[in-house]
Chains A and B, each alone.
Chain A
């Protein structure tokens, strides 16, 4: 990482450390949500931005992660520090099975199949009253005493999310990360230099799901309860919106998207119930007038900002 990038990252992190000191409880909760959903969105962009496929079922892994941590804490009293890795592993295992089928397809078919599998997971959680509580949800997920408060849980979330984002950034800059870009830009050429593209896509799918699972794991103790809606397809749309707003071409794009989306939601829902209409208008404006999202704008006009990590995917629809 260049010195300039490091300075920028340091400044952002310092701001995230300092902000809760001057903010009230409501905005600290909003900040926590931004971080959790930001982690979720960055993991989504491993598939969308770096692999060039649009997953419309990413919430399934978020939900599996959330329920893994939630159930382990409520039913077995397992400490949160063990639940989070378990959430990653469970989400990864589910992704291994579902991904085996999904990566055989690309473009719109990939999107539809991920969505179908996502709904499958949703209905399992929704119907399985004996285990997940079904549509009654799962209540009483309390973080450990040390983290039991908006400020302390915020700092814990900041720590976990930062670690997760750093690991994903390292992966994006690794030979594996560049192989994903290669598969995205030219799968045929990649096969003809000797890469089993399907295998790499599956690994990437699983890794992305693990981080979505981590984000989900953080959600339960934050929200104190879980509902199956967490893995419904509306929830799969959240990282899509965030990534489109923030820009899929930059590693940090989805995080920027999370900031805008979540703040906007917290703000708008304070005085109107027309949040879906609002976000619909925002998305329309971004797609029409800001096709690369905020990051695309930064790339065009902000030479002083960190260089982009990866070249843009072809056609923002994520077709292969």
Chain B
């Protein structure tokens, strides 16, 4: 199946026990998009990410990424192929320093992790330093990652996802737990990655100001089903969306 889409999800279904977490979701992303998926808690956003990144296997449906059918690939292979992911709860190496965290992911990207005999300390210095600077973690480089503030942990999480130079970046609530200022900085960085480096980005978010401020396309999930998809302005006007989700105020 050839397509111009970087991501092409077809008829995706997943149930956990009796709970239908994802129902017949079709979703396509063009190269270079910066899009958001929203939905109330339990709408199936995280499950959707888990299904396309190889964390869970779908019951039905297919996932194509860069033209390849990756539906049954293990997570590490999908990551290698260029899809990277930052988790909602920061998922870092708490006992390594910030610098070692980032270096580790970069060494993976540089395919050097099977090297048993060179000193890791001497490798990937420039790239590590660069990524630390880009993500604003430079002043924390020697700190043990587990002791970082919540916002910095999320930033480190983003740095790890970026280190492998992804074509598609999945961000699960990238600004959760951040201050207003940190949120702004992080989203500016995300927008810049998209604009300047051409990374296709898909994110979920609860903060509507972030969603409407940055996403150029908005998709709404509700009870595992995709109920609206389009430009943020259109989606905001969609009656069903207003009813099930945005109800209170948008």
Contact = CB atoms under 8 A, between A and B. Distances in A.
A96 B164 CA distance: 30
A185 B116 contact: no
Interface stretch (A67-75, A125-133, A191-199): A191-199
Contacts of A314: 95
Contacts of A195: 76, 108, 113
B91 interface: yes
Contacts of A189: 87, 91-93, 160
A196 B79 CA distance: 10
The secondary structure that dominates the A interface is: helix
A45 interface: no
Candidate in A170, A192, A195, A196 with the most chain B CB atoms within 10 angstroms: A192
Contact of B84 (A174, A192, A311): A192
Contact of A176 (B116, B121, B144): B116
Interface residues of B, number: 39
Interface residues of A, number: 28
A174 B115 contact: yes
Interface in B93-114: 93-96, 100, 103-105, 107-109, 112-114
Nearest to B115: A175
A179 interface: yes
Contacts of A185: 93-96
B160 to A, nearest CB: 6
A186 B76 contact: no
B124 to A, nearest CB: 9
A317 B87 CA distance: 27
Interface string B136-151: 0000000010000000
Given A175-B118, A192-B79, A192-B85, A181 B93 contact: yes
B164 to A, nearest CB: 5
Interface of A: 170-171, 173-179, 181-182, 185-186, 188-189, 191-197, 200, 203, 207, 311-312, 314
12 contacts: A175-B107, A175-B114, A176-B116, A179-B108, A186-B91, A186-B92, A193-B109, A193-B161, A193-B163, A193-B164, A194-B76, A194-B108
Given A170-B119, A193-B105, A193-B164, 10 more contacts: A175-B112, A176-B115, A178-B103, A182-B104, A189-B160, A192-B85, A193-B84, A194-B76, A194-B108, A311-B95
